[in-house]
Chain A
Amino acid sequence: MLEAFLKALLIILYATFVGFMFMGIIRKVTARIHRRIGPPIYQPIIDTIKFFSKKENITHGVIYDFGIIFALGATILALMFIPLGGVSILRAYGDLILITFLLEIPMLGIMFAAMSSGNPYAGIGAQRALLTLLAIQVPLGFAIVALAEYYGTFSTYEIVMAQQIHGWSIFHLPLLLAAIAYDIVLQAMFGKEPFDIMIAPGEISLGPMVEFGGKHMGILQIQHAIGLFAETLFFSNIFLGGAVVMTFASPILNTLATLVILLIKQLAVLLIAIFISTIFPRFTIDQAARFYWKWPTIIAALGAILASL
């Protein structure tokens, strides 16, 4: 019991730290692409400390506070189900559908909070975010179906183990198609540029985030960090082979090697997202919905059909 609790705490701390580094990498790499120097890589941590050090706080009622906590809790729960090499605690129950569902719950929590603030910008942002969420379901569902059809199981850990024997998922053609569709969906899940319609800085102020200040925004920063970590981890687990290292004699060395390999794969996923986001302008919401229901859906459906043949 105590051991599981300590393990969960360690996973949360590691995910928060690495997530903040990922946010810093996003800002730094974006700056380098713009030929700027950019902020130090630990800048998001400073931002979060600053948000928690605000001397007053604004609240609009119970749901406004609860929605934020709900988002953070859902992200942490999603993280617990994703296998992190050999350390994850709930990985035996880590169902593909469950994790995909839990990774979208935080958006609903933020929507609760944003809608209860009564700000019209937050309302517009919430509507756009819900439409984006609806649009990405279709390719996401087909990608998951392709995976489950190919490996014959829904368990994420078993998929990772199967990739140890048969090679990475992206080297099989049906799953490569699913991975491409999932990677396009990831742009919307990260809230990155071609599909950052829900946040849309400059277009609708900040969308749902417009009303959050002080400690609410601090918690949202932590949520975003853990969310980035969990989404990249899920992608590298199901498509890039995860990591189960057995070469060393001592289990600590094995765990460390696992974490390093996973980190490299996560960074690869993140960097692709950054490169796409820095060179593409934003879609309008109707274009985004039409796009998601067309190309990624066709690609993912093709993958699902090929996988079931």
Chain B
Amino acid sequence: MVDWRLFEPLFNWARKKSLWIVSFCTGCGGIEMPPLMTSRYDIERFGIIPDPSPRQYDLFLITGYVTPKTLKRIIITYEMAPDPKWVLAHGSCPLNGGVYWDSYNAIKHLDKYIPVDVFIAGCMPRPEAVLDGIHKLMEMIESGEADGWKRYRENYEWYRKNQDELLGEGWREKEARKWIPWLMDKRKEVKE
């Protein structure tokens, strides 16, 4: 096996300079994403482009409140990406629930379920604030501080326990099987 440690500064520079964002717009923050990409606050200057595939992204923006139903998808999308990947939580809701502090159906601390590297406060944050957060994340990647993917790997039992506590044991299988009875009923109706 080749020892790649010598190339690590080059790799860190490349990771910093080409963060691809997965287009996963949760909640109201989704409307703050297009201004970032378009001509006024052009984020492609820093090599950041939106990419619809969960296999290719490096940066996961959680833009707004997270319900348990969305959390399942967020966890699956997070686990699908290959390893150096970072999460940037954007707005007050992923931080501590925000205005949904007494809602039965909003996640209060996103950090308990997936590791977050940078939080941006605000409801909604200005695009400048998001740019500032991304700049901070770039600095952390350069120095090796941004290690959410490493934390997820090392403390997987803790994250898994929290996820199972909230969503119930075996939620992946249950979610996949949820539509099968409904589809079967539909097929029967068509036959009759």
The interface of chain A, by Cβ under 8 A from chain B, is: 27, 31, 34-40, 43, 46-47, 49-51, 53-58, 201-202, 205-206, 209-214, 217
Contacts and interface: CB of A to CB of B under 8 A. Distances in A.
25 contacts: A31-B42, A31-B44, A34-B39, A36-B39, A36-B44, A37-B44, A38-B45, A39-B45, A46-B18, A47-B18, A53-B4, A53-B7, A53-B14, A53-B15, A55-B84, A56-B82, A58-B82, A202-B23, A202-B52, A206-B56, A209-B53, A210-B55, A211-B55, A212-B55, A213-B55
Given A49-B14, A206-B56, A212-B53, 9 more contacts: A34-B39, A37-B42, A38-B45, A40-B47, A50-B14, A50-B18, A56-B82, A205-B52, A214-B82
Contacts of B45: 36-39
Given A36-B42, A54-B82, A56-B82, A212 B47 contact: no
A65 to B, nearest CB: 15
A246 to B, nearest CB: 43
Report the 3 A-B pairs with minimum CB-CB distance, sorted nearest first. A213-B55, A53-B11, A55-B83
A47 B18 CA distance: 6
Interface string B143-164: 0000000000000000000000
Contacts of B23: 202
Interface centre among B10, B15, B46, B53 (most CB of A within 10 A): B53
B38 A34 contact: yes
A215 to B, nearest CB: 9
B175 interface: no
Contacts of A56: 82-83
B47 A206 contact: no
Contacts of A40: 47
Contacts of A202: 23, 52
- The prevalent SS among residues of A at the interface is loop
A205 B56 CA distance: 12
Interface in B43-94: 44-47, 51-53, 55-56, 58, 81-84
A212 B57 CA distance: 11
Interface residues of B, number: 27
Nearest to A212: B55
Nearest to A44: B18
B73 to A, nearest CB: 14
A18 B82 CA distance: 29
Interface in B1-53: 4, 7, 10-11, 14-15, 17-18, 20, 23, 38-39, 42, 44-47, 51-53
B5 to A, nearest CB: 12
B147 to A, nearest CB: 12
A293 to B, nearest CB: 30
A98 B42 CA distance: 43
B122 to A, nearest CB: 24
Given A53-B11, A55-B82, A201 B52 contact: yes
A11 B47 CA distance: 28
B34 to A, nearest CB: 12
A35 B53 contact: no
Contacts of A38: 42, 44-45
Contacts of A57: 82
B53 A43 contact: no
Contacts of B58: 50
Given A36-B44, A201-B52, A54 B17 contact: no
B46 to A, nearest CB: 8
Contacts of B56: 51, 206, 209, 212-213, 217
A228 B55 CA distance: 24
